[in-house]
Amino acid sequence: MTAVTERARSSLGAELASPLAAFVVVMVVFGIAAPNFLSRATFGSVAFQLPELGLLTLAMLLPILTGGLNLAITFTANIAGLTLAWVLQSQGGVDAGIGAFVLGSVLAIAVGALSGLIMGLVIAYTKAHPILVSLSMMIFLRGLGEFLTRGGDVSGFPGFLAPIGYGSIFGIPVPLLIFIACVLIWHVLLTRMKLGFSTYMIGSNIEATRYSGINTRKVQVLVYTLSGAMCAVAGIIMLARFNSVRVGHGESYLLITVLACFLGGVNPFGGFGRVIPVFVALVVLQLLSSGLNLMGSNQHLATAVWGILMITVMILRWVAERLKFLNANKG
């Protein structure tokens, strides 16, 4: 039994403590303040809203672990969504078949991966700062997207797409299933695979990693490529949920993804952080906004509360560190 808990501890890590604590606090506070909070409806709304932010956060996570950043995530998702939209439209719009959807999704993921690949190559070979590279990519994709759509919506998709945005399998929303699958893929990638191992090492010290015989350029290129591909998955889900694509959709999520990583215990300078705590952090953020919504406040207030939560967490972490330090000194 202890072996099992020990194993769980070592695979989940101490990073889980603060998001779990926040989770408990949010559940208790809203459970008392809003009697209808602990209901199926709340969890339904969380389950449907979580995946968009969640998938984009996964896309942000890998670059952050290498000590970088991908500021182009939301526009990569938009461009990937547009790719799928155009394929569907060219195949008859509302009358497009499953084949068109599959082809469109594959192309969308390819386009997302391509955006990441280009960023990865530039970052790995020119050693330019990821913030600047991804900012440039973001501006490029935004301008390109707005030019191609003339700033409007692209809509008119076949009816079978609706279940991807709104359907459920065995009571679990489809977008949530897709998100959980992606969480698990990322978890295995980071804990059990060479690429994940190298991602952490690069985040702590890229030169020492290169001296140890790791192809650091390849790792950087792959990390940004995977990040771009994950954006595309988010873009496809967003298309199904909004039943339209518009360049700028989800733009406000960009910085929230960085904060969600940080709330999940990811080191903002790279090298440390795990997927599961980030997942719990995302659930907390979503519960918070659903709970406030339920109590009648509007979405903008929820965003403000997110900010307060982050600052509180930083202060609490500092306090916890101090306590640890003082305890160590007593002994």
Partner 1 sequence: MADQEPDGSASRPLLSLRNVNMTFGGVKALKNVSFEVLPGEVHCLAGENGSGKSTLIKVITGVYKPEAGAKIDYDGQSHAHMSPVTAQAGGIQVIWQDLALFPEMTVAENIAFQTVTGRWPRLVNHAEMWRVATNALQRLGVTLDVDLALHNFPIAQRQIVAIARALVGEAKLVFMDEPTASLTQSETDYLLDIVRNLSASGVAVVFVSHRLAEVLEISSRVTVLRDGALVGVYPTKGLTQSRITELMTGKTFDYSVLHRDLSTSSVMLEVKGLSRPGEFEDVSLTVRRGETLGITGLLGAGRTELALTLFGMRKPRSGAVVLDGKPVRFGSNREAIAAGVAYLSEDRLSLGLIQPQAIADNMVIASLDKILSGGFFSSDRKRSLVSGWIRDLGIKIGKQEDAVSTLSGGNQQRVAIAKWLATEPKLLILDGPTVGVDVGARAGIFDIVSKLADTGLAIILISDEVPEVYFNADRVLHMAQGRIVGEYVPGATSLQAIEGAVYA
Residues at the site binding partner 1, with contacts judged by CB under 8 A: 10, 188, 191-194, 197, 200-201, 204-205, 207-215, 271-272, 328-331
Q: How far is the CB of 232 from partner 1 (least distance, A)?
A: 24
State the virtual CA torsion across 317, 315, 69, 300 in degrees, nearest 10: 130
309 close to 292: Cβ distance less than 8 angstroms: no
HSE (side-chain half, CA atoms, 13 Å) at 279: 15
Give 204 or 293: the residue with its C-beta nearer to partner 1. 204
Give 98 or 328: the residue with its C-beta nearer to partner 1. 328
Q: How far is the CB of 211 from partner 1 (least distance, A)?
A: 5
Amino acid at 240: A
Q: How far is the CB of 98 from partner 1 (least distance, A)?
A: 31
Give 147 or 269: the residue with its C-beta nearer to partner 1. 269
d(CA 230, CA 54): 10
Give 242 or 272: the residue with its C-beta nearer to partner 1. 272
Q: How far is the CB of 194 from partner 1 (least distance, A)?
A: 5
| 219, two tokens | 């790792």
Give 191 or 243: the residue with its C-beta nearer to partner 1. 191
Q: Quick one: the chain helix, strand, coil %, rounded to 5?
A: 80, 0, 20
For tokens 């509360």, name the residue.
305
Q: How far is the CB of 328 from partner 1 (least distance, A)?
A: 5
Q: How far is the CB of 262 from partner 1 (least distance, A)?
A: 17
Give 193 or 295: the residue with its C-beta nearer to partner 1. 193
Q: How far is the CB of 62 from partner 1 (least distance, A)?
A: 17
Alpha-carbon distances, residue 150 vs 144, 155, 246 (angstroms): 10, 14, 10
| 208, two tokens | 């020492």
DSSP 210-269: HHTT--HHHHHHHHHHHHHHHHHHHHHHHHHHHTEE-TTTTTTHHHHHHHHHHHTT--TT
Give 40 or 207: the residue with its C-beta nearer to partner 1. 207
The helix/strand/coil state of 169 is strand
